[in-house]
Structure 1
Amino acid sequence: MRWSTKLQYLFVACAAVAGYSASRCCRQAELETANTKLQEEYTRSWDERISEEATGNLIFRSLSSLMQMAPNSRYPNGHSIARASIAPGTRLYHGRGNSKLPVMDWLAFDPEHSQTFLRGQNGTLFTFMTTRELKLIYFDGCSANKRGGVADTQDVLIWGEVGHGREPWRSDPELDRITDACAWGRKYGIDGFVRMEYDFEIMYCDFSQGLTLVSSLDTPSDARLAPPLMEVRHAGGRHNAFPGESRVQVDSATMISFFDPALTSLVAARRGLPRTQYRIAHISGEDTARVRADISEMVARDPTGKSGIDWRTLAQAIQERFGDRLLYIRHLLHLARLVAADTDASLQVHAQFQSITAEIHKQLLVSLSPYMPREGIGEPTWFEAIARGCTTSFTPRFPEARFTRQERLLNYAVEEVLHEVCRVYTEVWRDAFGLDVRAKGSNFDASIASPMLAKWRDAFDALIEWLDWPIWLKCDPACAVNEFCEVPQLAPWQAGEARPRCIAIDSDWV
């Protein structure tokens, strides 16, 4: 959504005036429009529902899940590719069954991960340190697993087709993958590719570049001295939530998403499917060519050629602004349903129902009060102004002229998510505004409020399901000191019933 072009032209005109007069002109323009900008025209009516084929929520979720174990475990078939980096001085690990230095191979971020490859009598654990910034490509989802559609995005980037290299006669398709991926990345100066399984890893292209050997440890061959395999999952679980694996810095301004609505073949392929079955196997040749061209442009361009907006942090701030309150309002609405179902018509039940309704009213007020103008309270234009102020609360005056193509898509996703959040909040607030919910001396009518709360419950349930934010993926209650939280992968036939669970650190590998 955008402010009208007239407002944009005004700022452009101000910027064209030289020196002090220019800044003074622009400040004056800002003051003159500050009280009226909520009435500016949008490309979408504030109360217009999002299309069923909208993808802003999916792009937003991918953005807010970058380098986090839990949300990428939930939906293992990744849909994003982005540029990433690792700072100098970072420790990385490699384990193998001999003492030969690796040339092109896999690196782990945690030693527990590398230790699973210390096979045989001559197991060696290598520790490396980065000597410069490493240039990487990141694939989201469980992109290092070997099943389903987890490698689809890699196939498109490396070979231009989904399913390449999975013929049954191939003895080691992963060796082909790293070889061909590194051959593709060599012309762009790419050092490796970040993927995820039980923990994060790097397919590293040349160990003689960007790394120095810190230590080479001949490990005991006695199985009694080997760490339990469960420790790999325990190590990965440390990166469950934001900021995730913080040793990798993903440049969100470069995030290419296969949820881009411009990829029409995938829009059609997703139609009618649950989220767990989304993959890019049915992408058309035309859309494949378009994505590969975008990827090549993205990795080749100057890294400074972007707006400078931290999109990951923005997505996190939006989740933190609304996330816990959305869950609390939903809790209250379902609690109200239970109270309303009580056949006891006592004054105590009536008072409890009224109290819950009053708390919902308060939560709506707290959520929307930063966007309420003084004039026209209760009028249709007042609710419209609230919704628009809420929707633009995180994205006004962004430097859109400096946006990359990927940033334009992220901006679309953020605005679409905020539109739907603010639409539901404001429509419910419009209903609640006329309710008398005072604790004492009111004419509260439960027979009127009850169907209204049922309507609100459906609205918030649908919104929370549509958003599906990573911030909500956690074990509740929290795990004990001898446990860690794990989010099971959803199989294609599941629809979200696999809840996060606490796993005992000393349990057997499953």
Structure 2
Amino acid sequence: MALRFILAASALILHVIAAPPQAQAPLFPYAKAVGSRGPSLESARANAPHIFNALHSSMRQWGSSLNHNGMSLFPARIPNNTHLYHGTHIPNAVKGMEWLAFEIEHAEMFARAFPGRRPGRRPGKPGDPERPERPERPGEPGEGPPTPPFELTWGETVDGIQSMDDDDDEPDFSRGYLHIYRTIRPLTNLVYIDGMSAGKTMMGTLDTQDYLLRNITDGDDSPAFNDFRRGQDLCDLGAKWGIEGFVRMEMGFEIIFCEFSDGLILESAYERPSGKNQSFERMPQLEVLRGASMRYPGITAQRLRLDYSGMVSAYWYDLNMTNPDPERADLPRLPASDVEGLGNMKADFMALFEESSSRSDVGNDWQGVTDMIITRYSDRLQLMAGNDTSRDTILSDIAVLLNLYIDYGNFDVPTAIEKCSAHYLIAAVPESTADHMIHEALLTVMNEICSTLFYVRHLILVGEDETDRSALEESKLALKSLIAYLDWTTSKECGKCGYDEICFVAIWPWGSMEDHKHPSCMKDEVLSRRQGYWDMWGLRPRPPPGNETGSAADGLW
């Protein structure tokens, strides 16, 4: 009763608060920059929820799987004495460019025999007439299964295979090996490409690599089978910029590391079981995905740190990110033909990367700021917006969230909203261009949250009659509009699953449209049938008619 009396009394001096703006569209077609095509605070404000979510989901498997078309780049660092893993078909230490995994299960997927090798002969060299430049697509006639979309196994030995003479001894590709590497110095010149950036699709997962970094303007008709070339191009760019590797994500996080002999030591290379004799020798799909799902909240142990003060995002620029596929308007796409706009973004990242490299430590922990905001507001917003939530429950949660900013002896709503909006941003001191853009975006998001909550508070307190449902319904509409505007990925979490299950969201190359929209707890026998979401051939992803009884990923291994 005391709480209700205080809230009711405060309503007597409550200023009239305008209704909050409507929820944003899934994507902004463009954000007008003032005076130039460089980054602008206006663009940061217009795209504020997307920038907020890019920060919150960075280096996290969960949010990066849901928002899989990443539009941002971050300088990254890995400390000394960090273990990384590599699956291959040879026991020797890798030289040159190759892939590293952060998780053991991810690397185990590649610790197997060389794929597609016919008995009694070595894999063909590039350009060999018997080695097709483009493998057959799944389901089309061809010799044997298609090459996996992972270029890892080919990339590991391409230099050695190309240098072999015809009279060389036949290499033994019949076994797999799991390598454990350890960093022998801090790897301070890495770039993290956000989203499902190692997902070989035609849906936009590769836009920042192909259109922004590689300057491709006419698309790539077979991205699933060109990842080794992509890695070479990225490392060629890295040689010019002083970048030693690129961090990406698929069924776990990986690094395209440009020179294994510089910064890594091979600790062990253990032969893997053949898997032919015992079923337990094979790696179940559930365990591969469990390894990835353990990194839904992040890779832990500070094995990699991002320099958010060196971030660059397409959401800061005057770029048309509208998806040409009207049925996937929720997915942003970079405009490959906008050479000027992408060129500006690329040049800005080069400058910020150099600035980041000169710092002894990373800058502001903006992801930590988003964590503070989401943990305070996310669950309470969902509760208050619930169809069955009562007026008293909303008032109680509103009081919990807003009382910190209210001086009941001198109540001023604009001042309270200002304090509420800035509260969690105080710890971060904007210094770089990235800091100022991020600060503006987060301040915009917080202002939307705080303004909406004070508006809802006003609606309910003015509607004193508990039998009058109009104020309650309008309040819930405002809260649902806010939730849609924020689009936080936490609302799709499964909760605790059984020990023989994982919370499954579509992770390349597995998953259906239903798994993307409504992740759920699943067992191993169900996971093997989930497919249809990822478009690797420029076809709009549609699940097959009827029950999903086959896995498109099965043909990719």
Mark yes or no: TM-score above 0.5: yes
1:226/1:243 Cα in 2 relative to 1: closer, same or farther (>3 Å)? closer
Query: Structure 1, unaligned stretches of length 5 or more?
Result: 1-44, 337-355, 437-443
Aligned residue number for residue 413 of structure 2: 383
Cα deviation, 1:219-252, whole Å, max 9, x if unaligned, reads 2223332222332211000001256684221111
> What is aligned with 1:364?
398
Match of 2:104 in 1: 111
Amino acid at match of 2:437: L
Q: CA deviation at 1:315?
A: 0.8
Aligned equivalents of 2:488, 2:473: Cα separation in 1: 23
- Structure 2 partner of 1:90: 82
| Change beyond 3 A, Cα 1:445–1:88 | closer
The residue type equivalent to 1:118 in the other structure is A
SS at match of 2:182: strand
1-structure distance, mates of 2:516, 2:226: 33
Q: For the Cα contact (< 8 Å) 1:486–1:500, is it kept in 2?
A: yes
Q: Find the partner of 1:214 among 257, 267, 291.
A: 267
Q: 1:508 Cα deviation (Å)?
A: 5.6
Pairing partner for 2:499 from 475, 481, 484 = 481
Choose the corresponding residue for 2:448, options 391, 413, 420: 420
Give CA deviations for 1:90-148 in whole Å, capped at 9, x if unaligned.
11111112234322111111221111112322211111001111131111111111112
Structure 2: distance between partners of 1:127 and 1:496: 33
Please tell me the root mean square deviation across aligned C-alpha atoms, in Å. Answer: 3.0
Q: Which residue, out of 456, 472, 483, partners 2:475?
A: 456
Write the distance in 1 (CA, Å) between the matches of 2:516 and 2:184.
45
Return the alpha-carbon distance in structure 2 between the equivalents of residues 46 and 243 of structure 1: 42
Q: What is the aligned counterpart of 1:329 among 371, 377, 384?
A: 384
Kindly indicate whether the alpha-carbon contact (under 8 Å) linking 2:501 and 2:521 is maintained by their aligned counterparts in 1.
yes
Asked if the contact 1:421–1:463 (Cα under 8 Å) also holds between the matched residues in 2, the reply is yes
Range with bigger deviation, 450-459 or 387-396: 387-396
Distance 1:284 1:423, change over 3 A: same
Kept after mapping to 2: 8 A contact 1:124/1:217: yes
CA 1:175/1:274 → structure 2, altered by over 3 Å: closer, same or farther? closer
CA distance in 2, matches of 1:59, 1:239: 21
Cα deviation, 1:33-75, whole Å, max 9, x if unaligned, reads: xxxxxxxxxxxx9866378442100100010001111111112
The structural deviation recorded for 1:198 is: 1.0
Which residue does 2:367 correspond to in 1?
312
Q: Deviations over 1:157-205 (max 9, x none)?
A: 43223555x245x995211111111111123332211111111111111
Residues 507 and 325 of structure 1: is their aligned pair in 2 closer, same or farther, counting only changes over 3 Å? same
Quote how far apart the aligned CAs of 1:271 are. 12
The answer as to whether partners of 2:310 and 2:356 remain within 8 angstroms in 1 is no
- 2:552 is matched with which residue? none
Q: Which runs of 5+ in 2 are unaligned?
A: 1-16, 29-45, 114-173, 530-557
Distance 1:494 1:218 in 2: 38
| TM-aligned CA deviation for residue 419 of structure 1 | 0.9
- Local SS of the residue matching 1:433: helix
Higher RCO (CA 8 Å, separation ≥ 6 residues): 2
Which residue does 1:35 correspond to in 2? Answer: none
Cα contact 1:67–1:244 (8 A) shared by 2: no
Residues 187, 264 of structure 1: alpha-carbon distance in 2 compared, 3 angstrom cutoff: closer
- 2:191 aligned with 1:173, yes or no? no
Alignment of 1:271-350 (within 5 A): 276-282=330-336, 284-303=338-357, 304=359, 308-331=363-386, 334-336=387-389
Cα distance in 1, alignment partners of residues 215 and 429 from structure 2: 34
Q: Does 2:283 align with 1:227?
A: yes
Change (3 A) 1:329 1:242: farther
The one-character-per-residue Cα deviations of 1:368-422 (angstroms, maximum 9, x if unpaired) are 1011123444xxxx2222222211212248544xx21111111111011001101
Q: 1:312 to 1:110 in 2, by over 3 A?
A: same
Corresponding residue SS for 2:475: helix
Asked if the contact 1:70–1:473 (Cα under 8 Å) also holds between the matched residues in 2, the reply is no
Q: Percent identity?
A: 26
Q: Which amino acid aligns with 2:444?
A: E
1:84 positional shift? 0.7
Q: 1:430 to 1:203 in 2, by over 3 A?
A: same
The equivalences for 1:144-155 within 5 A come to 144-147=198-201, 148-155=203-210
2:182 aligned residue? 129
Contact 2:74/2:310, CA 8 A, preserved across alignment: yes
Is 1:468 the counterpart of 2:487? The answer is yes
Matched, 1:192 2:245: yes
Distance 1:462 1:217, change over 3 A: same
Counterpart-to-counterpart distance in 1, 2:493 and 2:266: 37
| Distance in 1 separating the partners of 2:427 and 2:90 | 57
SS in structure 2 at match of 1:393: helix
The CA distance in 2 between the partners of 1:112 and 1:180, in whole Å, is 27
The alignment of Structure 1 onto Structure 2 pairs a total of residues equal to 425
- Cα shift at 1:283: 5.7
Q: Indicate the residue corresponding to 1:56 in structure 2.
A: 48
> Contact 1:265/1:283 (CA < 8 Å) preserved in 2?
no
For residues 456-490 of structure 1, give each alpha carbon's deviation from its aligned partner in whole angstroms, at most 9, with x where no partner exists.
111111111111113333104x2012222122269
User: Quick check: 2:307–2:356 contact (8 Å CA) kept in 1?
Assistant: no
Structure number having the greater helix percentage = 1
SS across alignment from 1:136: strand
TM-score by length of 1: 0.76
In structure 2, the partner of 1:160 is 215
SS of the residue 1:150 aligns to: coil
What amino acid maps onto 1:219 in structure 2? R
Compute the displacement of 1:297 (Å): 0.6
- Secondary structure of the residue aligned to 1:77 is coil
